[in-house]
Amino acid sequence: HIRLTRDIANRHRIFNISWEADQVQISISGKYDEKKMINIASRKLEEMGFDVTSKNYNYRLITARGNHSEKVKLDMEMVGLEANMNEHAFIAPSATYQKLITGLKGGKMSSSKPESLISLNDKPEEAAKKIKSATTGGRATVEEQKLKGGEPDKCPVFELYSFHLSSRDDDLKEINDNCRSGSLLCGSCKSEAAERMRKFLTDLNEKREEARDRKELYIQEE
């Protein structure tokens, strides 16, 4: 979602910024007067201490040199410049760390392998069935699981709890501890996860139908 949001924000911007070492390029998007936009952006760059090395009006492009440590500040300043001209002048969100959730069968989730993921369009019973057949971090046998405990760090089902199915730290800790101690077996754990997902999707579908009847409040049709 971070990547999607960043892409949406960048696509709506007038001033598009790219860096290569200490060189920055700003291109102008949209049906705006390129000379006016380039001159506005150039003045801001110079105010910030950048050395504007070229202004190409035909290609709607500015090239300048400056300190890469000013990257975030420059982005904020450029958003401020276009805010009065562009109601969609969004600041792209950033993330210092992203973790991709493991597919239900291990490895990556893929739309070409529907059994590897839960879709918001899945029927509740279909999603529950996928979880019940998912790979886990359990041991080879029940006896070994009880003796050695499971490995939630290697379990796609536990990731579902971590990201989607548990909203309380104490609940997640209890699942983790019981798995590691061997008191929680994979069958019971998957059944609980499947039931939580079934309830979530059932509730989502009900709310979706309610929203469908009120779409005119949010969508303006031509």
Q: Which of 8-17, 120-129, 137-146 has the lowest mean pLDDT?
A: 8-17
Look at the chain and report how many structural domains it folds into: 2
Q: What is the chain's mean pLDDT, rounded?
A: 92
Comparing 109 with 221, which gets the higher pLDDT?
109
- pLDDT tens string 181-190: 999 999 999 9
Pair (66, 121) in one structural domain: no
| Predicted local confidence at residue 6, as pLDDT | 83
108: in domain: no
**What is the pLDDT at residue 95?**
66
Average pLDDT over residues 6-21: 89
* 87 found inside a domain: no
Do 12 and 77 belong together in one domain? yes
End-of-domain residue from the set 82, 104, 131: 82
- pLDDT class of 7 with cuts at 50, 70, 90: confident
What span, in angstroms and rounded, lies between the C-alpha atoms of 39 and 104?
A: 53
Inside any domain, residue 90: no
- CATH code at 162? 1.10.240.10
pTM above 0.75, yes or no: no
- 121 and 63 in a single domain? The answer is no
pLDDT in tens, 47-72: 999 999 999 999 999 999 999 899 88
Residues 64 and 134 in one domain: no
The whole domain housing 46 covers 2-82
In a domain? residue 104: no
Q: Do 78 and 118 lie in a common domain?
A: no
Q: Is residue 107 part of a domain?
A: no
Same domain for 213 and 119, yes or no, is yes
**Within a domain: 64:** yes
Residues making up the chain, counted from first to last: 222
126 CA to centre of own chain: 25
Tell me the pLDDT band of 212, cut-offs 50, 70 and 90. confident
CATH number for the domain spanning 44: value is 3.30.70
136 falls within a domain: yes
If DSSP states are collapsed to H, E and C, what string results for 109-143? CECCEHHHCCCCCCCHHHHHHHHHCCCCCCCCCHH
The rounded distance, in Å, linking the Cα atoms of 145 and 151 is 9
Same domain, 201 and 133: yes
pLDDT of residue 216: 80
